[in-house]
């Protein structure tokens, strides 16, 4: 038996353990999110607040009005970003792709800027749909431009088009914001990426699109495996590459647009999760997507908890903590790629 085959068998055997470990990690992250913070709450009190809420108990109020909403937002946004990042890496066959590759983050930012600057909206629940629609329109623009020409869409064209559209939308956003101080203040808080300052009404507004995106992403895992072999090979095996690409783009837009709308643009999470899991369970996309749902949610919750602890009595936003972790991870990935190439 060759080394490659043995490695594949070993990773398939590890997969059930990885799923179990990811679920345990997520449960631990949820427990920490509900109990740890500037005001520590005993786990028994948290359980009592969830089962028998008492509006006169301050600890119960903290758990139900602050900890539960940010925990749910972290679960939804973290899982969605991990799925979106994995799908984007599969579609583009680019190990450095992330959910912002299609201009989704830039489109969401432009939508929020217009809502804040033009309409004067300041609450996240007020401009959540502007972020979502902006993300979707940006992705459609990238897809249309990237698929133009005789050769149609391909990974390189989509990546270059996404970078160009992102640069253009970002320039427009900041050109408007620097002339409007009130809009800049409201936008700046959202753009950091945070699980605070949002309520559950915001989540319920986008939970259906995120759920649809999640189902599409998980269902497309086999197609991403075939695309990884090369588009010509995939077509030779009878696979409809164009359909997989369209479904994947729709899934990424729904997932990343919804997550960005409720939590702001959180960078690097969708890039880190697939890479971290590949070393453990291999390159098969159905496995990466399945485990990534749990690990992505857990990592974002842990980042939020770390942010509560490192700068008391204040907090560091979860998006900042993820970026602090993600930047050195990205550098390590670049160096590793160079070593492999050399």
Model pLDDT, residue 183? 72
Using pLDDT thresholds of 50, 70 and 90, give the confidence band for residue 151.
Answer: low
Instruction: Name the percent of the chain lying above pLDDT 90.
Output: 26
Between 98 and 224, the higher pLDDT residue: 224
The H-or-E segment that residue 149 falls in is none
Say yes or no to pLDDT of 337 above 90. no
Q: Looking at mean pLDDT, say which of 60-64, 96-100, 155-159, 261-265 comes out highest.
A: 60-64
Between 25 and 116, the higher pLDDT residue: 25
Among 175, 207, 233, which Cα is nearest to 80's? 207
Using pLDDT thresholds of 50, 70 and 90, give the confidence band for residue 153.
Answer: low
Are 282 and 8 spatial neighbours (Cβ–Cβ below 8 Å)? yes
Per-residue pLDDT tens over the stretch 123-145: 666 777 888 888 888 888 887 88
Tell me the C-alpha distance between 250 and 223, whole Å: 14
Per-residue pLDDT tens over the stretch 272-282: 899 888 888 88
Per-residue pLDDT tens over the stretch 285-322: 999 999 999 999 999 999 999 998 887 777 888 888 99
Model pLDDT, residue 285? 93
Tell me the C-alpha distance between 288 and 290, whole Å: 6
Residue spans per domain, the chain:
3-341
Using pLDDT thresholds of 50, 70 and 90, give the confidence band for residue 342.
Answer: very low
Per-residue pLDDT tens over the stretch 35-84: 998 778 888 999 999 989 888 888 898 899 889 999 999 999 999 999 99
Model pLDDT, residue 24? 97
Model pLDDT, residue 237? 81
Look over the chain and give the mean of its residue pLDDT values, rounded to a whole number: 83
List C-alpha distances in Å: 18 to 22, 207, 213, 282, 292.
6, 26, 23, 11, 10
Model pLDDT, residue 295? 96
Tell me the C-alpha distance between 130 and 151, whole Å: 33
Model pLDDT, residue 306? 92
Say yes or no to pLDDT of 182 above 50. yes
Name the fold adopted by 3-341.
ABC transporter involved in vitamin B12 uptake, BtuC (1.10.3470)
> CB neighbours of 65 closer than 8 A, spacing ≥ 6?
none
Tell me the C-alpha distance between 106 and 135, whole Å: 7
Are 15 and 285 spatial neighbours (Cβ–Cβ below 8 Å)? no
Model pLDDT, residue 101? 73
Say yes or no to pLDDT of 340 above 70. no
Per-residue pLDDT tens over the stretch 190-245: 777 888 877 788 888 889 999 999 999 999 999 998 988 887 788 888 888 888 88
The CA-to-CA distance between both ends of the chain, in Å, stands at 28
Q: What is the DSSP string of 63-83?
A: IIIIIHHHHHHHHHHHHHHHH
């Amino acid at each position: 038996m060759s080394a490659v085959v043995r490695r594949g068998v070993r990773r398939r055997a590890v997969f059930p353990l990885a799923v179990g470990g990811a679920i345990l990690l997520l449960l631990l992250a949820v427990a920490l999110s509900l109990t740890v913070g500037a005001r520590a709450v005993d786990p028994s009190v948290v359980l009592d607040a969830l089962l028998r809420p008492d509006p006169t108990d301050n600890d119960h109020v903290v758990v139900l009005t602050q900890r539960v909403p940010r925990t749910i937002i972290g679960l939804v946004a973290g899982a969605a970003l991990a799925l979106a990042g994995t799908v984007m890496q599969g579609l583009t066959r680019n190990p450095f792709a992330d959910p912002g590759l299609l201009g989704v983050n830039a489109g969401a930012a432009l939508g929020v800027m217009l809502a804040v600057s033009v309409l004067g909206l300041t609450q996240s629940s007020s401009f959540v749909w502007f972020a979502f629609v902006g993300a979707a329109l940006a992705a459609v623009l990238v897809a249309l431009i990237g698929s133009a020409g005789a050769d149609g869409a391909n990974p390189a064209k989509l990546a270059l088009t996404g970078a160009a559209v992102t640069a253009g939308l970002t320039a427009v956003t900041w050109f408007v914001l620097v002339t409007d101080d009130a809009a800049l203040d409201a936008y700046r808080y959202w753009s950091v990426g945070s699980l605070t300052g949002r309520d559950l009404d915001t989540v319920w507004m986008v939970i259906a699109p995120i759920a649809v995106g999640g189902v599409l992403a998980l269902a497309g895992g086999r197609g991403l495996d075939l695309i990884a072999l090369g588009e010509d090979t995939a077509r030779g095996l009878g696979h409809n590459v164009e359909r997989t690409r369209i479904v994947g783009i729709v899934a990424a837009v729904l997932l990343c647009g919804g997550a960005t709308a409720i939590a702001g643009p959180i960078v690097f999470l969708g890039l880190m999760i697939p890479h971290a899991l590949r070393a453990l369970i291999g390159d098969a996309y159905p496995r990466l997507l399945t485990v990534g749902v749990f690990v992505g949610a857990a990592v974002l919750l842990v980042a939020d908890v770390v942010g509560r602890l490192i700068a008391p009595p204040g907090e560091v936003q979860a998006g900042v903590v993820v970026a602090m972790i993600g930047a050195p991870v990205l550098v390590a990935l670049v160096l590793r790629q160079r070593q492999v190439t050399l």
